[in-house]
Amino acid sequence: MVEIGKKAPNLQVSGWAQGEATNLDRLLGKVILVEVFQVNCPGCFLYGLPEAIEVYSKYRNGDFEVLGLSTAFEDFDKNTSENLTKLLSDGEVVGQTRATLSEHGWLNQQKLRYSIPFPIAIDRLMDRDSVHVDDKVKSVIEHEVPNFERLSYGEQMRLTTRIRDYLLQREYTAATFETYGMRGTPTSLLIDKQGVLRYNLFGTTGKLDRLVRELLAE
């Protein structure tokens, strides 16, 4: 898993659904925001993507780039490249995203009321057998269970088994999502002009504009 302050590896993608193909190593010298979302993720469309679009509109003429990354760590029947294409071509949304945005009045004639203006890549999905599950279990425990070593041996074993069973139930895993140790979506990755990962933000913090300004000023 990539640590904050370390070189940000290239996105592992299966293709580009919108915009010209590029990657992090081609954008050195610029501050980069990678906005990670799922098609079936209401919070991504209510909060994450609008915030990313706002900073894109504000800073795009400077040394700043925004890349979208459509990933999938659940709901593999809805978080598909086909549904992403429908979203980008005509604003069609699916599943819980459609239900929640409709409740909030964010749809016009059942279509997303805004468009995404920056390039969008598709995270590369891998069969779960290609991932070392035991290594992933250790990573989850290390980053999500800070007091694990204080648990009794029996509690440690039960927790480890539950995490392993959960990971094995997943049909696929997304390469970039795993590489960056993301906890969910929306996630915002901020990379400085030297190509170093500076922030890995899960959810919407309201800090994106300030953090981008600070990195641009360096």
pTM of the model: 0.82
Q: Quick one: pLDDT at residue 168?
A: 61
Is 45 inside a domain boundary? yes
Closest CA to 51 of 176, 218, 187: 187
E-strand spans in 30-176? 31-37, 64-70, 107-108, 111-112, 120-123, 125-127, 172-174
| 3 state DSSP class of 150 | helix
Q: Is residue 113 part of a domain?
A: yes
Number of independent structural domains in the chain = 1
d(CA 157, CA 93): 41
Tokens describing residue 135? 């290594």
The residue written with tokens 């459509």 in the block is 70
Share of the chain above pLDDT 70, in %: 94
Query: Residue 171: what pLDDT?
Result: 63
* Confidence at 132, pLDDT banded by 50, 70, 90: low
Per-residue pLDDT at 170: 62
Confidence (pLDDT) at 161: 78
What value does the mean pLDDT take over residues 6-12? 97
Contact (CB, 8 A) for 55 and 212: yes
**Is 17 part of any domain?**
yes
Q: pLDDT value at position 93?
A: 96
CA separation for the pair 152, 182 (Å, rounded) = 28
* Residue found by looking up tokens 């648990």 in the block: 151
Provide the CB-side half-sphere exposure for 71 (13 A, CA): 28
- 130: pLDDT strictly greater than 80: no
Which tens digits make up the pLDDT trace of 163-172?
776 766 666 7
Structural domain containing residue 60: 13-125+181-217
* Burial (CB count within 10 angstroms: exposed 0-12, middle 13-18, buried 19+), residue 44: buried
Tell me the β-bridge partners of 37.
70
Residue 132 has what DSSP assignment?
-
Residue 155 lies in a domain: no
Give the model's confidence band at 159: pLDDT under 50 very low, under 70 low, under 90 confident, else very high: confident
**Residue 176 domain-assigned (yes or no):** no
pLDDT at 136: 76
Inside any domain, residue 185: yes
pLDDT band at 156 (very low <50, low <70, confident <90, very high): confident
The domain spanning residue 204 has which CATH number? 3.40.30.10
On whether residue 163 sits in a domain, the answer given is no
Taking the C-alpha atoms of residue 179 and residue 136, their distance in angstroms, rounded to an integer, is: 10
Q: Is 170 part of a structural domain of the chain? A: no
In terms of pLDDT, which residue wins out, 178 or 120? 120
pLDDT (0 to 100) of residue 129: 58
Q: Is the pLDDT of residue 154 over 90?
A: no
